Structure 1
């Protein structure tokens, strides 16, 4: 459920008309619903209420300071994959002690900064990383809390580009090697083992893969216990899917219930790292139709948002629902490829969409709250668009639209 709904054939963000917001702030425009974000966070809290837990919002999904601040105010921890993301969490008021640091390429500088901030733990992804973290911790006179990201070779049944739990993926340490790696870490005086981690993929629409992965983690947990290695949490990652079109993903409660049942008798916490499930359907991208171009083979609706604003469709052919902001009764419906102004053939938001739209009217791309703004760029020297947060009948600018001088503010003309 989200809070973007039609009233009298006009799309609203909570209590505000989307057309009015786009007229006020310009387009392209990201609009987020606070009520939806709160609802999604509360759904995870309720799903995990019977077990000691930490909900670590995956910052990569949407790193807006306002959204991070809201998550922190609701009690969330954070999953970060860079020093920049950790600094954003701290700037937004998040607690570093509730941060897990993931990612395959942590630098010595990033490791040192995270240790100095007192993060909860590092999710280790390779044996060389163990040595790097140990070395930095020793140099700082600190003990690093660590968890191994175990690659359980479980198929998440999702798009190959967002599958992360197979042997062929770059992420994590192979399940068959994990026990030896834990023994190596247990013998290292600079490391404190605290957990087991896995993340097998994104946009999962079934709870079966995560339950399969949990079973493998439990087998490893038992082996570690027998070796005298204590674990205080199991992190099952994120990956719960959302509805972009006709998907029917389980609710957080349905997704987590079997996992909670398997872990209920163990004296450990459960960590989860939801990102997409938190923010995707809490945001839309509003764009204006500039031209309707009739082609010999296709019709094109050319809009003012491009792949630099929302790259998911071009990057891995993601299907995202595109709707008219204003619906007109008895309006003529045509089939369009909705494309942007960027000079790339893959600059599209959606293909073969049935729309009743005229030039100058607004369209909304639904489900754009995750991996929209956070993956945007200045390609073609296009400005990053404005973003607003709606709270009932009020709207707040949470990122100003870029101005042209900012495009080159860190550049210089030199060497001529």
Structure 2
């Protein structure tokens, strides 16, 4: 062990130590406190202030490489189309592009961001239940790799827009397999009553119909049953239903060549065990068997969530008969997931001395004037005003969902690469909050 690293062998009962032990890119040092990819978080707070989003390029690269390796070990090679909605920063998109990933986009804005990061349209899948005609037209003209079609009505729109441009575009029908999965009701997407996809019993007929539409080249089916899934069983059930559909169509002479497997792999926000990726890859290999299918996969959270954190500072502490409160300068305007889903993120102290202190219950809350602005009840050391904390696994659906509610500017963003930190988005100024607003003259 490096002589600057803290020997915490006697402190393993602390919940924050267990969190860090499962995240190898973090370490406390006696002099500099908690470091992420070799960079002290306190130094980032000193130069950029708080709250600040911090991302790790090495963590991101390694997760992408692990994903590719697990599939290669199972002797399958799905095209990776990163779900841009998880984190759309150009720096993140560029790193993933260099690593061999394309993009799964759901809007004109996401398409434009992915293109600005150098991802070719042919390496993009266009998903989403509410594609506008102008968005579809832009993607057609750019040469989009695939539309994931959500309805017969959308299929007719794409056909009309493509044939008017003398184009033929590849489409996959998104099938709703009526499989319940996902860590929360609001992130389950494959049940019969969800807004996404085409009902399973309608998929074969619509696929046959698509074969005869002008401007359309049907290539297969796609599915996405939810997010934060840890069991491979619901995936296997969904894929099994769709593969049987593919077999039936191929047997009658209707060619189906592709299967988009979607995403939804869970990540542990605590010190638990992660998604069984090798078992998942082996399951896909088993379900596909000897069929020749072009596979696609759309990971988002699994890739980027562990590669990011939200660095925040305690502004004050407040004690009552009911609870001890630690009030942060980051709130639901920065990280919405706890208020939106009841989600929890691991929270750890940055200071090395604080990391050895006893654990005591604390209500961690933000500064926003809403009762739902709370991160949860945590066992933490007693943190004095000014103390820094890291909110872990915030690389997905963090900065993307942040807003300026209560007049709070958007936080800065920093990328660590090869033990150097780079400012990748400046902190929004207060005057930026009303930039672009127009007051009519009376």
TM-score by length of 2: 0.91
Alignment of 1:5-44 (within 5 A): 5-8=27-30, 10-44=33-67
**Quick check: 1:3 aligned with 2:29?**
no
- 1:383–1:35 Cα change, 3 Å: same
- 1:12–1:118 Cα change, 3 Å: same
Instruction: Report if aligned partners of 1:281, 1:368 keep a CA contact under 8 Å in 2.
Output: yes
Instruction: Report if aligned partners of 1:58, 1:80 keep a CA contact under 8 Å in 2.
Output: yes
Instruction: Report if aligned partners of 2:335, 2:402 keep a CA contact under 8 Å in 1.
Output: yes
Partner of 2:176: 151
CA deviations 1:54-91 (Å, max 9, x no partner) are: 00100000001000000000110111110100000000
1:252 to 244, 269, 277: 277
Q: Which runs of 5+ in 2 are unaligned?
A: 1-22
CA deviations 1:7-56 (Å, max 9, x no partner) are: 33821111111111111111001111111100110011112222242001
Partner of 2:427: 401
Query: Quick check: 344-353 or 133-142, which moved more?
Result: 344-353
1:224 positional shift: 1.7
Partner of 1:187: 212
Report SS of the residue matched to 1:48: helix
Partner of 2:440: 414
Partner of 1:132: 157
| Whole-angstrom CA distance in 2 between matches of 1:231 and 1:23 | 56
Report SS of the residue matched to 1:38: helix
Query: Quick check: 307-316 or 18-27, which moved more?
Result: 18-27
Partner of 1:383: 409
Instruction: Report if aligned partners of 2:53, 2:413 keep a CA contact under 8 Å in 1.
Output: yes
| Whole-angstrom CA distance in 2 between matches of 1:354 and 1:74 | 37
Partner of 2:80: 55
Instruction: Report if aligned partners of 1:52, 1:268 keep a CA contact under 8 Å in 2.
Output: no
Partner of 1:280: 305
Q: Which runs of 5+ in 1 are unaligned?
A: none
Report SS of the residue matched to 1:12: strand
Query: Quick check: 21-30 or 405-414, which moved more?
Result: 405-414
Report SS of the residue matched to 2:238: helix
Instruction: Report if aligned partners of 2:268, 2:274 keep a CA contact under 8 Å in 1.
Output: yes
Partner of 1:324: 349
2:397 to 371, 379, 384: 371
Instruction: Report if aligned partners of 2:104, 2:298 keep a CA contact under 8 Å in 1.
Output: yes
Instruction: Report if aligned partners of 1:96, 1:117 keep a CA contact under 8 Å in 2.
Output: yes
Partner of 1:176: 201
1:82 to 93, 96, 107: 107
| Whole-angstrom CA distance in 2 between matches of 1:274 and 1:290 | 36
Alignment of 1:287-326 (within 5 A): 287-326=312-351
Count of aligned positions: 416
Partner of 1:204: 229
Instruction: Report if aligned partners of 2:182, 2:225 keep a CA contact under 8 Å in 1.
Output: no
Report SS of the residue matched to 1:323: strand
Report SS of the residue matched to 2:186: helix
CA deviations 1:294-321 (Å, max 9, x no partner) are: 1231221111001010000000100111
Instruction: Report if aligned partners of 1:321, 1:366 keep a CA contact under 8 Å in 2.
Output: yes
Report SS of the residue matched to 2:175: strand
CA deviations 1:139-183 (Å, max 9, x no partner) are: 222112110110001121521111001111111011111111101
- 1:64–1:352 Cα change, 3 Å: same
Query: Quick check: 45-54 or 248-257, which moved more?
Result: 248-257
1:274 positional shift: 0.4
TM-score by length of 1: 0.97
1:189 positional shift: 2.0
Report SS of the residue matched to 1:363: strand
CA deviations 1:107-151 (Å, max 9, x no partner) are: 000000111111111101111111111111122221121101100
Partner of 1:45: 68
| Whole-angstrom CA distance in 1 between matches of 2:371 and 2:312 | 19
Instruction: Report if aligned partners of 2:70, 2:281 keep a CA contact under 8 Å in 1.
Output: yes
| Whole-angstrom CA distance in 2 between matches of 1:158 and 1:93 | 33
- 1:11–1:251 Cα change, 3 Å: farther
| Whole-angstrom CA distance in 1 between matches of 2:183 and 2:141 | 37
